Amino acid sequence: MAKVELTEKFIKSKKVAKRTDITDTRETGLMIRIYPSGVKSFAFRLRGPAGDLQSTPIGHFGDIRLAEARLAAADLRRRLKAGENITAAAKKEAAERAAAMQSAIPTLQELVEEYERIMSTKRKTWRRTVNDKGSEARRRIERVFQPHLMTQVTEISLDDLAHTMTIYVPRSGKGTANGQVARARSYLMTMFDWAAHRNKFKQIGLGRRPKLDVVDVRQTYDPSVEDHSITGERDRALDHLELARVLPLLVWPAPECLAMKARPELNVRPIALRFLLLTAARLSELVDMRWGDFKEEVGIWHKPYVKTISGPPKQQNLPLSNAAIELLRGLPNFETRQRDDLVFPNDEGGRLGNWQRITGAVHRESATSDWHRHDLRRTAATIMKILGISPRVIDEILAHNASSKDEGSSRALENYFASSHLLEHVEHPQKAALDKLAEALEFIERKE
């Protein structure tokens, strides 16, 4: 087990490939347990006077600070020296909390926290963030349904929910809130189905124990139904004039005119947006991309988790264009890269954020508007379609129609032909398509 004098900065930036326990050299008995998912939890572990190893959890980093964890560890050490069985006490407290939870009707806040603990390893939207501030789903529910967080869930009516969704205003105070409300409604609906044993949670053992008599959120109105700006009907793609103004800004180091807080040589957001255009990838895929996912020798980006139009998430091996490969080789962290390092990190090595700010800056300097990051993916697909790329190849690049059911047999055949050297002179259709896309973008940037 590693030993380090823990600091807030160290804990925030630490990433691991497997579960890792790190002992604090400053406070005896205190340790931090870090998981590959980014979850980080404080615990206490120390031998008692009789030589027996005793331990107890302290709390999630993010819910409590390092200073609070050290105070808790000091108190636990005092109790341990006084002869108290810390492990037994922790088990008793956990059992009492579980019994109280089973017998009591939870508030909406308590149910959200309970569901997040259960689903954080199963659903990406319920996975706590790297800095352990709460999952995407939890934060959406807490924002939109904030008036009901302290209300017992069985006391929340359909009228209550409908009214809250109607009056909700986004934090910015600008634009429509329909998209945020629709997502929060969807997350709440699934959680309430689990609590009430409805729909996919009907089978014995899938729902919450004990079952709760909560309303069916489906009976409320979905505000996104008639809002075409947030449905699949959105078809915004940048034209050649817009691209000609935007592309010169998507470089590294970041142009100083964007006036971002990070120094230009540390800001990879603009070049990351160019990578989105070159690969037609989703922003979430880019943010999670690690150097171990880039198979440089074969020019492949291995995506361990991609969404599909229907069915469960799947993996994808995307052949990269020559332009995309050269972009990756030109990144400031390429020469010092480690397998688990993020390809596009922030200036502290963590996941990139502040996308709204960089997009707004590009809007301002390029005199363009009304497009966001996902529209770059749509723009790439539109260009490939105009260039005559077959819809099937475009769908494969977008990971829309690849069937996980066929992956086993197709990969076996692919490995067979590759080992037989039959594929050496066969151009991969997805790479050919992305090379044509890169040529088109280069032509627009040079010509206009």
Other CB atoms within 10 Å distance of the CB of residue 85:
15
End-to-end CA distance of the chain: 58
The pLDDT of residue 11 is 93
Q: What is the pLDDT of residue 128?
A: 81
Strands 300-306 and 314-319: what pairing? antiparallel
Q: State which H helix or E strand residue 46 sits in.
A: strand 40-47
The per-residue b/e assignment along 7-24, b for 16 or more CB within 10 angstroms, e otherwise, is eeeebbebbbeeebebbb
Rg (CA), the chain: 25
In CATH, the architecture of 2-103 is 2-Layer Sandwich (3.30)
Three-state SS string over 231-292 comes to: CCCCCCCCCHHHHHHHHHHCCCCCCHHHCCCCCHHHCCHHHHHHHHHHHCCCHHHHHHCEHH
∠ CA 368-370-371, rounded to 5°: 85
Could you tell me the fold of the domain covering 240-447? hpI Integrase; Chain A (1.10.443)
CA-to-CA distance for 16 and 32, rounded, in angstroms? Answer: 12
- What pLDDT was estimated at residue 226? 55
Residue ranges per structural domain of the chain? 2-103, 108-227, 240-447
Residue type, 387: L
Q: Are 38 and 129 in contact (CB under 8 A)?
A: yes
Q: Please give the pLDDT value at position 313.
A: 67
Q: Tell me what pLDDT residue 38 has.
A: 85
* Regions in the chain scoring below 70 on pLDDT: 97-103, 130-132, 171-176, 224-234, 308-313, 401-426, 448
Note the pTM of the prediction, 2 decimals.
Answer: 0.52
Q: How far is CA 264 from CA 13, 21, 136, 331, in A?
A: 21, 36, 29, 13
3-state SS class at 82: coil
